[in-house]
Amino acid sequence: MTDSVAAGEAAIHLDQVSKVFGKNGNDTAYRAVDGLNLEVRPGQMLAILGKTGCGKSTIFNMIAGLTEPTSGTVRVSGRDPFSDFDWFRGKMAIVFQNDRLLPWRSALQNVELGLEMLGMAAADRRAVAQQWLTKLGLGGHEHDYPHALSGGMRQRVSIARAFATNANILLCDEPFSALDESTAGRLRAEFVRLVKENGKTAVFITHSISEALDIGDRIVVLKRPAMIAYDVSFDAATGPEQRESIRSRIGEVLAA
Amino acid sequence: MSGAVPQPLSSRLASLSFAAVKRLATSALPFVVVILLWQFASLFFPRFLFPSLIDVFWRCIDIFSSGAMFADVLATIYRILAGLAGAFVVGGLLALLMVRSRAIDRFLSPILTLFQGIPALSWVVFAIIWFHGVEFRIFFIMVMTTLPAFTFQVLGALRAMSRDLMEMVFSFRPTRMKLFRVMIAPAILPDILTAWKVNLGNASRVVVVAELVGATGGVGYQLLQQQQLFDMAGALAWTLQLVFFVLIVQGALTLIENTAFRYRAVSERGI
């Protein structure tokens, strides 16, 4: 593919990024992100961890191209996601905190949404959507409207919608936080498997240490206003003792 | 577990048809009462006050079967639909501009509010003074009287769209056309249909006023003729033409709602 990132080049690169809400000099101005530097390698699964209000979602929105940084540069696959917004069509997909399914579309039509934006023919996109729904255990529910599905099923439809476009970069904003622990655990495992199988670069926002350890192969802990307080990488070979030590360290950083 | 004995099919069909008949009877009851009261009054009052509904029925048949008279009904229907379509298109565009620009919103909102306060009869007078063509006068009156409601209703619908869903659709980088087709149009459709239902009733009243004063044909013109002849049966028959039209269009809109909004969850407990 022409849009693939060259070896060694960061898939996501944030350089001295700040975001201030409200006008400069205004008393109500709020600095959500302050001079953040962050690089995410292609194929990496980065979990961004932090307390509520630490700027996680602002970083997420800047990487997604939905918010413009006040200063500094954000580059995704070497391009500015805010000004080159349309260029990222089909190259970046988002799984949101709540499922955000269109209520007037069936499960199948919701999964087709991203493919429709890419201009794929109706029959082809139906086949792809069907395949993803089946892969996520939703065979037989293709024509159900969102109100007829459980919370877990709806979130699976939204994951299918994100994966169906075959985007290289996946952004996830606490996608399992509204689900019960058992459903969340199952979906988390499915999600990690799909990301690894498909070689995606993923940024996963969470406020749960356990979730970050389950999902990421790198964890960045943010402190308000969105500054990196702890950055650790690990892999499948990392033993339980080392993981426990990472967990303790994260707990200390968050409590500090 | 004590297994419940399934009802035989014939019994279930019977209970279903009983429910349908009961529903039909309940909705027809108010009309039946009004008809009976009118017919009862017609036995004691002169014809020019309360004509028999049988006379009115035959006058309705005359209107349906006479090409010239039915053309008057069609002319009125055309004027209502053209006026509503014009107001909807202009109102929709104004609402889009207002939702995109706060300055345009601040400029147009007071003007539209001012228009809402102008009586339909005043627009009729203005149209007669300003314009020559009868059809254009009526079109102008219809548009001006229904424009504020359409604009405010579409504006409200655009503003009420879910920001979460908009962001989700934006995350797929849609073109403007696709954004409108997959998100904006389905999201505002329920309010648009409600706007049409509300404005249809208003328009059918306004068109009669416009035709009474400025037209040489149509239901309003015919009503004026019946008034000059003191013909109550004719006045009722012509009025019923508009009532039938409104009922048919309302029924069509309800049918569209039932089909287009079948995705909505229905609670077993009503409000």
Token output for B80: 């209502």
**Smallest CA–CA distance from B184 into chain A, residue:** A102
Probe site for chain A from B161, B168, B191, B256 (most A CB atoms < 10 A) = B168
Q: Is B185 on the interface with A (CB under 8 A)?
A: no
Q: Taking residues B179-189, what's their average pLDDT? A: 94
CA pair distance B63, A226, nearest whole angstrom = 76
- Distance in angstroms (rounded) separating the CA atoms of residues A240 and B180: 51
- Per-residue confidence (pLDDT) for residue B22, from 0 to 100: 85
**B178: which chain A residues are within 8 Å (Cβ-Cβ)?**
116-117
Interface of A with B (CB under 8 A): 64, 66, 85-86, 88-90, 92-94, 96, 98, 100, 102-106, 113-114, 116-117, 145-148, 165
Give the pLDDT confidence score for residue A53 in this predicted structure. 79
pLDDT at position B268: 65
> What is d(CA B210, CA B221) in angstroms, rounded to the nearest whole number?
9
B101-139 per-position pLDDT tens digit: 999 999 999 999 999 999 988 999 999 899 988 899 999
Residues on chain B touching A114 (C-beta within 8 angstroms): 172
DSSP state of B112: H
Q: pLDDT value at position A47? A: 92
- From chain B, pick out residues whose CB is under 8 angstroms from the CB of A116: 178, 182
**Using a CB-CB distance cutoff of 8 angstroms, which residues of chain B are in contact with residue A94?**
168, 171
Task: Indicate if the pLDDT at residue A7 is higher than 60.
Answer: no
Task: Name the nearest CA neighbour of A138 among A153, A155, A159.
Answer: A153
- Give the position of tokens 């191209």: A65
Are the Cβ atoms of A117 and B164 closer than 8 angstroms? no
Would the pLDDT of B214 be above 80?
Answer: no
B186 and A102 within 8 Å at the Cβ level: the answer is: yes
Within 8 A by CB and 6+ apart from A256, the residues are A223, A229
Between B1-15, B133-147, B176-190, B195-209, the lowest mean confidence (pLDDT) is in B1-15
Please give the pLDDT value at position A4: 39
Q: What is the pLDDT of residue B270?
A: 61
Contact A93 B164 (CB under 8 A): no
Residue B164 reports pLDDT greater than 50: yes
Alpha-carbon distances, residue B43 vs B8, B49, B80, B229, B235 (angstroms):
50, 11, 36, 22, 19
Q: Name beta bridge partners: A45.
A: A202
Q: Give the span between the Cα atoms of A120 and B180, in whole angstroms.
A: 18
Dist. CA B215–CA B137, nearest whole Å: 9
Q: For residues A19 and A225, what is the distance between their CA atoms, to the nearest angstrom? A: 9
Domains of chain B: 58-163+189-260 (1.10.3720.10)
Query: What pLDDT is recorded for position B3?
Result: 47
B259 touches chain A (CB under 8 A): no
Nearest to B172 among A114, A146, A148 (CB): A114
> What stretches of chain B show up as alpha helix (H) in DSSP?
9-42, 53-65, 67-100, 102-116, 120-130, 134-159, 163-170, 176-179, 185-214, 219-229, 232-260
pLDDT of B7 strictly over 90: no
The average pLDDT across B144-159 equals 95
**DSSP string over B19-74:** HHHHHHHHHHHHHHHHHHHHHHHHTTS-TTTS--HHHHHHHHHHHHH-HHHHHHHH
pLDDT digits (tens, 9 = 90+) for A169-221: 999 988 888 777 887 888 888 888 888 888 889 999 988 888 888 887 899 99
Question: Do B172 and A102 count as a contact with CB atoms less than 8 A apart?
Answer: no
Q: What is the pLDDT of residue B144?
A: 95
Res A25: pLDDT? 52
DSSP letter at A79 equals B
Mean pLDDT of A217-244: 83
Give residue-wise pLDDT tens across range A63-73: 999 889 999 99
**Banded pLDDT at B265 (limits 50, 70, 90):** confident
* pLDDT > 90: percent of chain B: 65
Task: Using the predicted structure, report yes or no on whether residue B254 has a pLDDT greater than 70.
Answer: yes
Give the whole-angstrom CA distance, residue A42 versus residue B29.
Answer: 71
Rounded to an integer, the average pLDDT of A103-112 is 96
Q: How far apart are the first and last CA of chain B?
A: 34
User: Distance between CA atoms of B207 and B223, rounded to whole angstroms?
Assistant: 12
Looking at every residue in chain B, the average pLDDT score rounds to: 89
Contacts B171 to A, Cβ<8 Å: 64, 66, 92-94
| Residue B1 predicted with pLDDT over 60 | no
- All structural domains of chain A, each given as residue ranges with its CATH number in brackets, are 42-68+85-255 (3.40.50.300)
B190 interfacial to chain A (CB closer than 8 Å): no
Q: How confident is the model at residue A166 (pLDDT cuts 50, 70, 90)?
A: confident
Asked if A103 lies within 8 A of B263 by C-beta distance, the reply is: yes
Average pLDDT for residues B234-257, to the nearest whole number? 91
Q: Which residues contact A96 (CB under 8 A, 6 or more apart)?
A: A158, A173, A175, B164, B167, B168
Helices B67-100 and B185-214 meet at what angle, rounded to 10?
Answer: 130
Q: Is B168 on the interface with A (CB under 8 A)?
A: yes
pLDDT at B271: 63
Q: Which two tokens stand for residue A165?
A: 């476009």
The predicted complex's ipTM stands at 0.83
B189 compared with B5, residue with greater pLDDT: B189
Query: What is the residue-averaged pLDDT of chain A?
Result: 86
Question: Is B172 in CB contact (< 8 Å) with chain A?
Answer: yes
Structure confidence at residue B107 (pLDDT): 96
Residue B189 distance to chain A (closest CA, Å): 11
What is the average per-residue pLDDT within A33-51?
89
CA distance A84 to chain B (A): 10
The pLDDT assigned to B269 comes to 67
Q: Is B120 within 8 Å of B209 (Cβ atoms)?
A: yes
